[in-house]
Amino acid sequence: DAYLSGGVYLGGTGSANKLEDYEEGSWTPSLYAPTGGALTVSGSASGRYTKIGRLVHLSFAIGPFTLSGGTSGAAINIAGVPFTTQGSGLDSNGSVLGIYNISWSRTDFVALRTYDVSTLGFLVSNNGGGWIWETVSAFTGSNKYINGTITYMTTA
């Protein structure tokens, strides 16, 4: 049940049920290497978000794209998130990725996670091999696609 009386209340009229912040919009994801030099990326990118309170749900599509430059061993991230994250790997779950022509360095497990307070990163692992942040070399070349979703908590 939804109630309207000085705000929106879901499931009852008590203050714990008040929905105080709801927002939808678009954002532009961009591939970024926090260290190791500038990347040259050409292609299309778009994203949508929904924010309810401190919970942020992002979806995005990048591609087809061509990437060159940067240091091949440097971490690669997605910049442009519309709301600050809580930091590296904190409070981010529910990521789903769709990819084409990406050469992951470790292929058993791939997860999109918060890398720092302003970017997302790709954690990869082989069974029992530990987790590492994916590098620029996995994305170098042409005719690449990546799309996905992630849900995380913002600090605001």
63-112 tens-digit pLDDT: 999 999 999 999 999 999 999 988 776 666 668 888 999 999 998 888 89
Asked if 93 and 45 touch (Cβ cutoff 8 Å), the reply is no
Tokens of residue 144, six digits: 């690449």
Q: Does residue 2 have a pLDDT over 60?
A: no
Cα(43)–Cα(62) distance, integer angstroms? 7
Give, as one character, the DSSP assignment of residue 85.
B
Cα(133)–Cα(104) distance, integer angstroms? 10
pLDDT of residue 63: 96
Separation of CA 153 from chain center: 12
- Give the residue with greater pLDDT, 42 vs 10: 42
pLDDT of residue 125: 92
**Averaged pLDDT for residues 33-56:** 92
